[in-house]
Amino acid sequence: MDRLRCGVIGVGWQGGGHLANLQADPRCELTAICDLNEALLAERAAAFGVPHTFTDFRQLIACEAVDAVIVVIPDHLHREPAMAVLEAGKHLLLEKPLAVTVDDAEAIAATARSAPGTFMLNLSNRFMHAFAAGKAALEAGQYGAVKYVWCRLANRLEVPTTRLPWLQHSHLAHWIGIHRLDIARWYIGSEVRRVRAVERRGVLAAQGFDTADFVQATLEFDNGAVVNLEANWILPAGWPSLVDSRFYCLCERGVIDVDRTRSELSMAGESFDLNTPGAGPVHGRAAGFTVEAHRHFVDCCFSGATPLVGAADGLALAKALCAVVESCRLDGEVIELS
Ligand SMILES: NC(=O)c1ccc[n+]([C@@H]2O[C@H](COP(=O)([O-])OP(=O)(O)OC[C@H]3O[C@@H](n4cnc5c(N)ncnc54)[C@H](O)[C@@H]3O)[C@@H](O)[C@H]2O)c1
């Protein structure tokens, strides 16, 4: 195989980023896209010069000109296309989360275990320089074991109100909480045993969105480590970045503190923008963590190596985050994971 022929199912917000990453990689050829939204499909096909377009994902998966598929449709719809790609023996890059129910997550993970193709879950934050450097220091034994992590990921209000028409089918724990819990679990190297979480509604409910404003969870791991995880998506328009991202990891002999909100770059015009770096081209060349995640997937497709984030990670995270959602539903009842 000299070039990886790729198809993308779902070309919305995040799907658009995947199209750009594919186009920037000389090892890849963007051969097919699929979306239910025909106007968007036509617009993307014209913008990226894609020869094959489909509204039925089964047709894209069956297309002879496709070796690898990127699935980028809403969180609660991942099961069917993901399993179809794996069953067709093609390579799969699946957007996070693996699924929003344990049943769906187990089904995808079981299929991935016996599938011949490469499978990667796109938890792209593992490819941010700071988080990768922290992991390398932990692996080198520099700071000893992780004792606890406090972390937050938040979005400005415009994300749930203008960008996610399907938000009531997912949960902000699956939408953004997953990114920080993934890093915490990766650093801790153990599995979640017990969860207690609460959420509150108000700001979004008043605007007609049937979803929580924030969630706060405490997750205890088998090895004794503890994670305090916060997620919210009601940051005001004046917050100077689309995200607020904090991560404080206390170890036996050190601290790893990643503050991605206070970035190195600030720009001000009519408004002040902290412009969280990490994505976007450098001198016209694709760069940043999303590009690194994509390159890693393509590397693994060519070499046969196992990607850094697999179905087992996705399943463990789905179990923990479904427990978070369930504990919220029960107003803070403790959930034990088997
Ligand atoms: N890794 C990250 O940091 C990151 C960031 C944003 C989104 N995501 C994930 O990407 C996925 C998509 O999110 P988004 O923000 O792009 O959503 P979006 O609503 O902007 O786009 C989803 C697209 O999928 C299409 N679609 C829905 N059902 C379909 C089907 N059955 N067949 C074909 N097309 C279908 C919709 O028409 C839409 O264009 C979600 O799982 C989300 O969690 C990941």
Residue-wise pLDDT for 20-32, tens only, equals 999 999 999 999 9
Compute φ and ψ for 318, nearest 5 degrees: -65, -40
CA 135 / ligand 1 centre spacing (Å): 29
Mutate to test the pocket of ligand 1, among 11, 18, 35, 55 (most ligand atoms within 8 A of CB): 35
Q: How far apart are CA 250 and CA 235, in angstroms?
A: 27
Instruction: Count Cα atoms within 13 angstroms, Cβ side, for 150.
Output: 5
CA dihedral 106, 334, 234, 160 (to 10 degrees): 20
CA 124 / ligand 1 centre spacing (Å): 15
Angle between helices 129-139 and 178-188 (to 10 degrees): 20
Q: How far apart are CA 230 and CA 238, in angstroms?
A: 20
Q: Looking at domain 128-278+317-336, does it have CATH number 3.10.20.30?
A: no
- Looking only at the bridges linking them, the beta strands covering 214-221 and 119-122 are unpaired
Mean pLDDT over each residue of the chain, to the nearest integer? 95
CA 139 / ligand 1 centre spacing (Å): 34
- Which tokens is 259 given? 């503050």
Ligand 1 site residues, Cβ closer than 6 angstroms? 9-15, 34-37, 40, 57, 72-75, 77, 95-96, 122, 124, 175
Q: What is the pLDDT of residue 330?
A: 98
Residue-wise pLDDT for 285-311, tens only, equals 888 999 999 999 999 999 999 999 999
Mutate to test the pocket of ligand 1, among 9, 14, 180, 321 (most ligand atoms within 8 A of CB): 14
- The CATH H-level superfamily of 4-125+287-310 is NAD(P)-binding Rossmann-like Domain (3.40.50.720)
Mutate to test the pocket of ligand 1, among 34, 36, 73 (most ligand atoms within 8 A of CB): 73
Among 5, 24, 13, 125, residue whose Cα is nearest residue 73: 13
Q: How far apart are CA 247 and CA 90, in angstroms?
A: 36
Q: Where are the extended beta strands (E) located within 96-179?
A: 119-122, 146-156
Residue-wise pLDDT for 234-266, tens only, equals 999 988 888 999 999 999 999 999 987 766 677
Domain limits of the chain? 4-125+287-310, 128-278+317-336
Atom number, ligand 1, closest to the C-alpha of residue 78? 41
Q: How far apart are CA 137 and CA 133, in angstroms?
A: 6
Q: What is the gyration radius of the CA atoms in the chain, in angstroms?
A: 20
Residue-wise pLDDT for 31-84, tens only, equals 999 999 999 999 999 999 999 999 999 999 999 999 999 999 999 999 999 999
Q: Amino acid identity, residue 164? A: L
